[in-house]
Amino acid sequence: MTQLLAGFERFEVDVDGVRIAGRSAGSGPPVLLLHGYPQTHVMWHRVAPILAERHTVVLADLRGYGGSAKPAAGADHAEYSKRAMAADQVAVMARLGFDSFAAVGHDRGARVVHRMCLDHPARVSRAAVLDIVPTRHVFATVDTAFAMAYEHWFFLAQPPGFPERLIGGDPEFYLRAKLAAWSAGGHTFDEAAVDQYVTHFRDPAAIAASCEDYRAAASIDLDHDETSYAGGDRVTCPLLVMWGTAGFVGRHYDVAAVWRSYATDMSTAAVAASGHFLAEEAPAATAAALTQFLR
C-alpha cells in the first residue's frame, strides 16, 4: 500500500476529542479530498498525485472510517451527521493552516462537502461533488430502481446490531460485492487499495460507524437538509457536479437538473463509461476535470 500514495505525509488531528487521520502532499492552493463508503482516503490514489502537482492536497478519512476515530453514537445519530463530519474537516484544514480551501467529495464525502458548503460558506472557496444527488432529493424520490440498486441505504439504517452482525459475518465479501455492484462492468480495482479498504472495514467499530452514517442520513441529516432548503440556503461557491455515465446515478437521475435547485453557480462533467467510482475507474478524466475546475 505504501506505493499507492508515495510522498504523501501522514497526519492526525484531534478535533474535540475525535481523531481525524489523513495524508497531505504538494504545494499551492489547498484542496481537501473526501472519500465515500465503504472506502478510505486511499480511493484518491490515482487522482491525488496529479492534483498535487499544482495544489496542496489533503486526503482525510471521515470520522468512522479508515484511520479516523469511531466515536459511539447516541440515539439521534448526531455523532455521524454530515454536520458533525463537515465540522471535523473544517477544523482539520484550519489546523493545517488553511482557513479557506476547495473541497472535493465522492459518495458520502460528497454529502459532507454539500453540508460543509451550507454550514461553512466562508471556508469553502469552490467545491466538487462526485456521483451523488442531494440526500433530500434521494429520499423524496425513492422508487423501485433505487431500492434495488442502493438497498444498503435502508439496510444499514436499520436498528443497531442487525446490519452490523450480518456484515460482520464476512466483511470482505460484503465490501468487494459493493465495489463490484457499483462500478462499471469489467473494471478492476487496485488490489493494494482494496486490501487497505478491507483491513479497515474488518474492524467491528468501523462497520458500526458506517451504519451510523446511514442512520444519520435517514434521520438527523434529513432534518438539517429540510431546514436548510426551506430557509433558502444554497451552495453559493462555484460547484462542479460530476457523475459516471455508466453508473446508477448517471442513468437514473437528470443530475444537472436536480442540482440546479441546490446551487447558484454550477458546472457539470459527465465521465463517459465510468460507474460510481470515478476516481478509480476513470482517473485521467476525473483528474482533468478537477484540474480545470480548481485552476
C-alpha cell at 146: 433505487
Neighbours of 148 (CB within 10 A): 9
Half-sphere exposure of 41 (CA within 13 A, CB side): 26
Q: pLDDT tens across 177-225, in order?
A: 999 999 998 778 999 999 999 999 999 999 999 999 999 999 999 999 9
Active site residue 107: yes
CB 255 within 8 A of CB 241: yes
Cα 122 to Cα 243: distance, rounded to the nearest angstrom: 26
Q: pLDDT tens across 250-277, in order?
A: 999 999 999 999 999 999 999 999 999 9
CB 1 within 8 A of CB 196: yes
- Looking at residue 295, its pLDDT comes to 86
- Looking at residue 9, its pLDDT comes to 98
Could you please report the per-residue DSSP string of 33-85?
EE--TT--GGGGTTTHHHHTTTSEEEEEPPTTSTTS------TT-GGGSHHHH
Preceding omega of 38 cis (within 30 degrees of 0): yes
Catalytic residue of the set 41, 114, 200, 276: 276
CB 42 within 8 A of CB 281: no
Cα separation of the two ends of the chain: 30
Give the predicted TM-score (pTM) of the model.
0.98
Burial class for 189, CB neighbours closer than 10 Å (0-12, 13-18, 19+):
middle
- Tell me what the mean pLDDT of segment 82-108 comes to: 98
- Looking at residue 208, its pLDDT comes to 98
Active site residue 88: no
- Looking at residue 225, its pLDDT comes to 98
Instruction: State the fold for domain 2-294.
Output: Rossmann fold (3.40.50)
Beta strands at 9-15 and 18-25: parallel, antiparallel or unpaired:
antiparallel
Catalytic residue of the set 88, 107, 221, 225: 107
Strand order in the sheet with 266-271: 9-15, 18-25, 56-60, 30-34, 101-106, 124-130, 239-244, 266-271
CA torsion sign for 230, 294, 116, 198 is: positive
Helix/strand/coil for 21: strand
In the structure, what pLDDT confidence band is assigned to residue 2 with cuts at 50, 70 and 90?
A: very low
- Looking at residue 187, its pLDDT comes to 78
Could you please report the per-residue DSSP string of 218-259?
TTHHHHHHHHHHHTT--B-S-EEEEEETTSHHHHHS-HHHHH
Nearest Cα to Cα of residue 71 among 54, 84, 56, 89: 84
Does the structure show a pLDDT above 60 at 1? no
Q: Locate the domains of the chain by residue range.
A: 2-294
Q: pLDDT tens across 150-186, in order?
A: 999 999 999 999 999 999 999 999 999 999 999 998 7
